[in-house]
Structure 1
Amino acid sequence: MTLTNPNLEGYTVVRNMWLTYFNPRKGTYVGKNDERFVVWPVSVASQAIVDGARIYPELKPLVAPAIDLFQKYKNNHLKGYSAAENSGNDKDIYYDDDAQVASAMLTAYEVTGDKKYLDQGRELVRFLMGGWNDNPNAATKGGMCWHISNHYLNSCTTAEVAKACLQISKFIPGEASYYVDFAAKCIDWQIKVLQDPGDKLIKDGVQDTSTEINDTKWTYNVGTTLSAAAHLFAITKDQKWKKIADELAEAGINRGVFFYDRDYDNDHRYWRDSSYFVQLLIEGLADYLLYAGNEAPEGLPARIQEEIKRHLVIFYEYMKDPKDGTYIQSFEPHHTYKEIYDSKYQQEFGGKKGWGLKGEDKDKNGNPSKCLMGQGAAARVFFQGARVVPQIN
Structure 2
Amino acid sequence: MTLENPNLEGYNIVRNLWIKYYKKSAGNFIAPEKCSGCYNNEKFVVWAVSVAVQSVVDGARIYKELVPLIDPAIDTFQRYKNPHLKGFSAAENNGSDKDIYYDDDAQVCSAMLTAYEVTGNLKYLDQGRELTRFLMGGWNDNPNAKNKGGMKWHLNNAYLNTCTTAETAKCCLQIAKFIPNEEKVYLDFAIKCTDWLVNTLQDPSDKLFWDGIQDTSDKHNDAKWSYNAGTPLSCAAHLYHYTKDEKWKKIATDIAKSAINRNSIIYDRDYDMDKRYWRDSSYFVQLLIEGLADYMLYIGNEDGLADDITEEIKRHLVMFYEYMRDPNDGLYIQSFEPHRTYRDVYDKKYKPKFGDRKGWSLKDEDKSGDKPMKCLMGCGSAARVFFQGARVVPKID
Aligned partner (choices 257, 267, 270) of residue 260 of structure 1: 267
Q: Structure 2: 5+ residue runs without aligned partners? A: 34-40
Task: Name the SS for the 1:153 alignment partner.
Answer: strand
Measured in 1, the distance between the counterparts of 2:83 and 2:52 equals: 23
Task: Name the SS for the 2:371 alignment partner.
Answer: coil
Q: Which residue of 2 aligns with 1:6?
A: 6
Q: Which residue of 2 aligns with 1:25?
A: 25
What is the Cα deviation at residue 326 of structure 1?
1.1
Measured in 1, the distance between the counterparts of 2:153 and 2:3 equals: 37
Aligned partner (choices 243, 250, 258) of residue 236 of structure 1: 243
Q: Which residue of 2 aligns with 1:93?
A: 100
Q: Write the deviation string for residues 359-386 of structure 1: whole angstroms up to 9, x where unpaired.
A: 10000x2100010011000000000000
- The equivalences for 1:179-190 within 5 A come to 179-190=186-197
Q: Which residue of 2 aligns with 1:332?
A: 337
What is the Cα deviation at residue 343 of structure 1?
1.0
What code does the residue aligned with 2:187 have? V
List structure 1 runs of 4+ shifted beyond 3 angstroms: none
What is the Cα deviation at residue 323 of structure 1?
2.4
1:41 and 2:45 matched: no
Aligned partner (choices 72, 76, 91) of residue 79 of structure 2: 72
Measured in 2, the distance between the counterparts of 1:352 and 1:270 equals: 15
Measured in 1, the distance between the counterparts of 2:260 and 2:61 equals: 27
Task: Name the SS for the 1:100 alignment partner.
Answer: helix
Measured in 1, the distance between the counterparts of 2:143 and 2:26 equals: 45
Q: Which residue of 2 aligns with 1:379?
A: 383
Identity %: 69
1:136 and 2:143 matched: yes
- The equivalences for 1:115-264 within 5 A come to 115-264=122-271
TM-score by length of 2: 0.97
Measured in 2, the distance between the counterparts of 1:158 and 1:285 equals: 18
What is the Cα deviation at residue 162 of structure 1?
0.2
Task: Tell me the number of residue pairs that the alignment of Structure 1 and Structure 2 aligns.
Answer: 390
Measured in 2, the distance between the counterparts of 1:213 and 1:206 equals: 4
Measured in 1, the distance between the counterparts of 2:172 and 2:387 equals: 22
Measured in 2, the distance between the counterparts of 1:119 and 1:227 equals: 23
What code does the residue aligned with 1:346 have? K
- The equivalences for 1:291-370 within 5 A come to 291-295=298-302, 297-298=303-304, 300-363=305-368, 365-370=369-374
What is the Cα deviation at residue 237 of structure 1?
0.6
Q: CA RMSD in A?
A: 0.7
Q: Which residue of 2 aligns with 1:279?
A: 286
Q: Write the deviation string for residues 274-300 of structure 1: whole angstroms up to 9, x where unpaired.
A: 0000000000000001011142x12x1
Task: Name the SS for the 1:293 alignment partner.
Answer: coil
Q: Write the deviation string for residues 312-351 of structure 1: whole angstroms up to 9, x where unpaired.
A: 0000000001322210000000001110111111111122
1:388 and 2:395 matched: no
Measured in 2, the distance between the counterparts of 1:323 and 1:81 equals: 35
What is the Cα deviation at residue 235 of structure 1?
0.4
Task: Name the SS for the 2:82 alignment partner.
Answer: coil
Measured in 2, the distance between the counterparts of 1:384 and 1:186 equals: 24
8 Å Cα contact 2:151/2:164 also seen in 1:
yes
Measured in 1, the distance between the counterparts of 2:218 and 2:170 equals: 25
What code does the residue aligned with 2:380 have? G
Q: Which residue of 1 aligns with 2:36?
A: none
What is the Cα deviation at residue 25 of structure 1?
1.0
